[in-house]
């Protein structure tokens, strides 16, 4: 299939037939994943702190230092969460926190060393914004910070904080956050030091179709250069309890964007459907619109929940959801290797 141009993507955003887009995206999905497997991972998001100086207008989770419900998790709580995760069959932990002004770089290195020494679990953690925060705090620079994190136990990075990689949008919704170029620079450096990552996009914050296509292009270009992205994940903005407010986008808009991401990102193998923000039924529908992965069971998730959206998922229900879509459910690890296939 010929590579989709920006002009074609833009035309499809504005005039494309959703059913036809879904058919084409599903065809591409079948070419890349002919085995009919749909994967998921069992993991836990642990927010080690909610104190954050970024103060994004679309975020309902962060707190300022000194607020009554601001926290940094004690090690004992962290230990219990990890024990629960492993007991439930979890293979991955995602550490995500705010940009805490008082935590020095050794805090993060000690955190990774403690987890890696005591728990058999992959550490898929720290967004580019957190990495850049550590680089500024320590004065070491991005490359040395990433190398030190890797040595201490970091296995890969999530794509958090990408939102829309267009500074015009970023300045409006998160003016204190890192720029689009800084996000891309951290990801490129991570790939260079041997840390693979995922890439994300958050839609529904007033961006245009042109902004979404620009975001696609930046991710695809970097993937051409490094090959370091394992997956692309589109989330939708959850407006509840946020300073920015607004409305949720429609499921049609989400599915259209998902289909186009599958068709445009011809160099990224895995496309994840977001049942966490779309709910289980739309999450299931993503499997007919190009997605081959449904992300994680998520034994704990706090950021989307703080914005008033909370869905729960057991392994049995995930398996049933995938089976009833005519696919073969399979539990994977962080590197998308199959751990268990539920094919009977």
Kindly report, residue by residue over 295-326, the tens digit of the pLDDT.
988 776 666 666 666 656 788 889 999 999 99
Say whether pLDDT at 260 is over 90: yes
Alpha-carbon distance of 260 to 13, in angstroms, equals: 8
Say whether pLDDT at 176 is over 60: yes
Tokens of 193: 């030091």
> How large is the average pLDDT for residues 236-240?
87
Cα dist from 92 to 83, 238, 332, whole Å: 12, 25, 10
> How large is the average pLDDT for residues 189-212?
97
When mean pLDDT is compared across 85-89, 208-212, 307-311, 314-318, the lowest value belongs to: 307-311
pTM (2 d.p.): 0.93
Above pLDDT 90, what percent of the chain? 78
Average predicted confidence (pLDDT) for the chain: 93
What pLDDT score does 287 carry? Answer: 97
> How large is the average pLDDT for residues 139-150?
98
What are the strands of the beta sheet with 37-41, ordered from one edge? 156-157, 196-203, 229-236, 270-272, 293-296, 37-41, 328-332, 338-341
What pLDDT score does 344 carry? Answer: 64
Q: How confident is the model at residue 283 (pLDDT cuts 50, 70, 90)?
A: very high
Bridging pattern class, strands 338-341 and 328-332: antiparallel
What pLDDT score does 56 carry? Answer: 80
Where is 12: in which H helix or E strand?
A: helix 6-15
What pLDDT score does 328 carry? Answer: 96
> How large is the average pLDDT for residues 97-114?
94
What pLDDT score does 299 carry? Answer: 76
């Amino acid at each position: 299939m010929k590579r989709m141009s920006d002009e074609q993507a833009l035309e499809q955003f504005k005039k494309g037939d959703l059913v036809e887009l879904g058919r084409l995206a599903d065809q591409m999905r079948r070419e890349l994943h002919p085995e009919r497997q749909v994967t998921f991972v069992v993991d836990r998001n642990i927010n080690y702190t909610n104190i954050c100086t970024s103060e994004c207008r679309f975020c309902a989770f962060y707190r300022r230092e000194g607020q009554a419900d601001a926290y940094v998790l004690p090690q004992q709580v962290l230990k219990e969460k990890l024990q629960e995760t492993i007991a439930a069959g979890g293979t991955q932990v995602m550490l995500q926190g705010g940009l805490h002004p008082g935590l020095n770089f050794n805090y993060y290195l000690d955190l990774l060393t403690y987890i890696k020494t005591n728990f058999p679990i992959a550490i898929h953690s720290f967004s580019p914004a957190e990495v850049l925060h550590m680089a500024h705090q320590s004065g070491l620079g991005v490359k040395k910070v990433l190398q030190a994190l890797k040595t201490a136990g970091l296995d890969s990075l999530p794509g958090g904080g990408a939102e829309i990689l267009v500074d015009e949008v970023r300045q409006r919704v998160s003016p204190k956050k890192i720029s689009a170029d800084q996000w891309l620079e951290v990801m490129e450096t991570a790939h260079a030091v041997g840390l693979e990552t995922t890439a994300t996009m958050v839609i529904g914050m007033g961006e245009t179709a042109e902004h979404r296509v620009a975001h696609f292009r930046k991710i695809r270009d970097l993937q051409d250069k490094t090959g370091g992205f394992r997956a692309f994940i589109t989330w939708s903005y959850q407006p509840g309890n946020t300073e920015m407010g607004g409305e949720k986008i429609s499921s049609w808009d989400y599915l259209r964007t998902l289909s186009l991401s599958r068709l445009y990102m011809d160099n990224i193998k895995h496309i994840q459907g977001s049942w966490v923000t779309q709910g289980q039924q739309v999450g299931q529908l993503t499997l007919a619109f190009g997605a081959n992965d449904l992300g994680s069971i998520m034994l704990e998730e706090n950021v989307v929940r703080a914005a008033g959206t909370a869905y729960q998922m057991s392994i049995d229900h995930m398996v049933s959801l995938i089976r009833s879509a005519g696919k073969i459910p399979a539990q994977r690890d962080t590197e998308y290797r199959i751990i268990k296939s539920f094919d009977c």
